[in-house]
Structure 1
């Protein structure tokens, strides 16, 4: 009898939403998606868990939706890590080669372990280590030196580090729902799995993820991640600006943004208005499409200015051959790609998740699903490449409901105003 396939689940815990996608690896490496769940996020600010009880309830809501479609419980998940204190470190390690001067896998593993022992700021941990090009005998560079003849090998790693509390608070939130976190993966790496091609990564590309509460920047060049940073502004700040500028409530502002908003005021029709009803007998408000779009454009230009700052700081601005791939919920804003192209001088395309599925699921081409689909693809690849440990027994939790059908309707998350914060890349050298 054939062994039954293991269902894998991925969870994107964002500032405004929680998304769960569960699936299996089907024939010809196609993904068989079995269930999807979503909920309004709570207890998360700037991508970081601040209230474990609230985020636990939001996670549980989305999980139960997915479980209803699967018909079984989820035991463990892959989850994304993000936050404004995510930092990029440059680290060099070197080794003199033995074994008749032939580089072996053991030499590469030695350098990796050396990197893992590097001293980090107090309370930080390494979430990802990306080797750059290897330098052989202080001369040529290559991506894979194994088998080459050399006396000295040197490599620079890009480390993505963040506070240990990022992962720990996520784990606590999942534990309250009886779920184990199998692996935590840095957000831009997950998104890049389904949004970027190998050619784009080789030529040089910027992955720009503008979500509800944050804007994430990841720069790939020569096939590897070179730089990553986060700006704590996203679509929510646009909603707040509309609310204040039009003197309306937050729910109405969000509706205006998504239904009628444009990123470039000059392109908005001057003769169109939308009427907003007012409570308690006040006169309805008439808001012109053009004024609405100028409010959005003003704030987006500030965010793009910050994006340009990070591109310049990375040192890779003049090595981006492909351009910018735009994703995240705010990427759906009309003409935003044109505004970013105008402000940065780079080509821009909207990132659509590219994942081979056994059957079509409506909405998966939405940029908002990029992170969770990338997580799922990485999870399925991990499952295929190594043996799985015994599954963790799902324990009962007070937060769970006894009825699969209880969590059917969702509300939009509450938008939050974010403060600007820049992370400086730091360098370490170990010998």
Structure 2
């Protein structure tokens, strides 16, 4: 029986808990056992701004998931997001003792561990170190140097950092909710586990996770994370535009956007009217759907332009054979895929987690807004970097082999010692006779 996995997605609009386990029929899929969610009070732009309110929301979502699954949870996988989550490129190297000895998984871990010991800017912590290419003795470049020989092992790393006080706030909230965090993962990386295929990652793909107040970007090429970025825009900004344009309440603007928001070509040809109840003793307001489409399209074009600039900045635009995958709550807007394709020039599809969910899992979880929560749960048995799984296998084989050799050596040493003692006794007896 697979171990129980619980994920906690702390978002700006909602907090979601998913309880599941690795499918016994397909090791790449998640069997969902329960789900719970609550309104996200105390979170703004992906960052916790009120510990008590956020802790209460976490507790509500957790209790709902526990009731749904009948399982009590003590440990969760949690995400981290916000503008403070940034990435930089770093170089690392180690010098090995012998050119004849093969490079091992231990050497890879040593090199990666050295990156974690780098001095970070005050108030920042490393949350992910993702190796790009390795170089052996200044000549041989490879993505996987294990088994090769050389003295000088170097590598470039994509390092993702976050503010220490934000990480501490997350752990405080979780502790107040009566649980602990097994590990913390950047939202975009967690989402990628749920919606991207291995073929897309190898070919080159850009994932766009459109949340309530921020947009997370992660770019893969040759199955390796190459670039990450955050844009301080999201679905709430579209809601605010609708609210201000038609002078209505925020909840009315959100409902108007989600129910009637449409930026496809047909939306501009249809002259439909939506009637919105007025405030006390005030007459209702009428909104033309074409005007609503214009307001939404203006903000979506701005978002798409910012995304295009980030992709060009990455230097991988020409290598995105698999194009773009959009996910998150903001990706549900009708016409979003067409608009992104028109502005970026890339093929675009909607990213949902159905590929990695076992049959029978709740249909609602296949909505893009749950991609991060599903990805965090999948992280319990699915690796972000294909090399990680390979290294775990190699490391396990190495330790099994080492233990076997140790047993054999110990047995051999005992036999050899007996022979020496017998020889000494024989020589002593022979000496006494003479």
With the shorter chain as reference, the TM-score category is 0.7 to 0.9
Trace 1:35-114 onto structure 2 (pairs within 5 A): 35-101=34-100, 102-114=102-114
The match for 2:33 is 34
State how far apart, in whole Å, the 2-side matches of 1:105 and 1:282 are: 71
Deviation at 1:116, TM superposition (A): 1.0
Contact 2:44 2:213 in 1 (8 A): yes
State how far apart, in whole Å, the 2-side matches of 1:13 and 1:356 are: 21
Check 1:358–1:274 CA distance in 2 against 1; reply closer, same or farther (3 A cut): closer
Contact 1:265 1:294 in 2 (8 A): no
Contact 1:265 1:293 in 2 (8 A): no
The match for 1:372 is 373
Contact 1:322 1:347 in 2 (8 A): yes
What is the Cα-based RMSD across aligned positions, in Å?
A: 1.9
Contact 1:264 1:294 in 2 (8 A): no
State how far apart, in whole Å, the 2-side matches of 1:265 and 1:308 are: 22
The match for 1:184 is 184
The match for 2:160 is 160
Say which is worse superposed, 249-258 or 98-107, in terms of deviation: 98-107
Higher relative contact order (CA 8 A, sep 6+): 1
**Secondary structure in 2 aligned to 1:189?**
helix
Say which is worse superposed, 96-105 or 112-121, in terms of deviation: 96-105
Contact 2:98 2:151 in 1 (8 A): no
Gaps in structure 1 of 5+ consecutive residues: 387-431
1:215 equivalent in alignment to 2:215: yes
**Residues 225-256 of structure 1: per-residue CA shift (max 9 Å, x gap):** 11111111100010010011011111111111
The match for 1:23 is 20
The match for 1:289 is 289
Contact 2:217 2:229 in 1 (8 A): yes
State how far apart, in whole Å, the 1-side matches of 2:166 and 2:209 are: 19
Trace 1:1-400 onto structure 2 (pairs within 5 A): 6-28=3-25, 29=27, 30-101=29-100, 102-264=102-264, 267-353=267-353, 354-357=355-358, 359-381=360-382
Contact 2:270 2:289 in 1 (8 A): yes
Deviation at 1:359, TM superposition (A): 2.4
**Secondary structure in 2 aligned to 1:99?**
coil
Contact 1:269 1:289 in 2 (8 A): no
Contact 1:264 1:297 in 2 (8 A): no
The match for 2:414 is none
The match for 2:426 is none
Deviation at 1:275, TM superposition (A): 1.0
Contact 2:77 2:182 in 1 (8 A): yes
The match for 1:428 is none
**Residues 372-409 of structure 1: per-residue CA shift (max 9 Å, x gap):** 11100112458x989xxxxxxxxxxxxxxxxxxxxxxx
Contact 1:263 1:300 in 2 (8 A): no
The match for 1:390 is none
**Residues 44-79 of structure 1: per-residue CA shift (max 9 Å, x gap):** 111111100110111111111111122232111110
Deviation at 1:267, TM superposition (A): 3.8
Contact 1:239 1:250 in 2 (8 A): yes
**Residues 293-327 of structure 1: per-residue CA shift (max 9 Å, x gap):** 10001111111221122112222222211111000
Contact 2:55 2:176 in 1 (8 A): yes
Deviation at 1:148, TM superposition (A): 1.1
Greater radius of gyration (CA): 2
State how far apart, in whole Å, the 2-side matches of 1:298 and 1:381 are: 39
TM-score, normalised with respect to structure 1 = 0.85
State how far apart, in whole Å, the 1-side matches of 2:107 and 2:271 are: 68
State how far apart, in whole Å, the 2-side matches of 1:227 and 1:276 are: 43
State how far apart, in whole Å, the 2-side matches of 1:265 and 1:241 are: 21
**Secondary structure in 2 aligned to 1:94?**
strand
**Residues 321-368 of structure 1: per-residue CA shift (max 9 Å, x gap):** 111100000100000010011111111100011214252312121111
Deviation at 1:184, TM superposition (A): 0.7
Q: How many residues align?
A: 382
Contact 1:266 1:290 in 2 (8 A): no
Check 1:301–1:24 CA distance in 2 against 1; reply closer, same or farther (3 A cut): same
Say which is worse superposed, 252-261 or 282-291, in terms of deviation: 282-291
Contact 2:2 2:24 in 1 (8 A): no
Deviation at 1:266, TM superposition (A): 6.5
Contact 1:10 1:379 in 2 (8 A): no
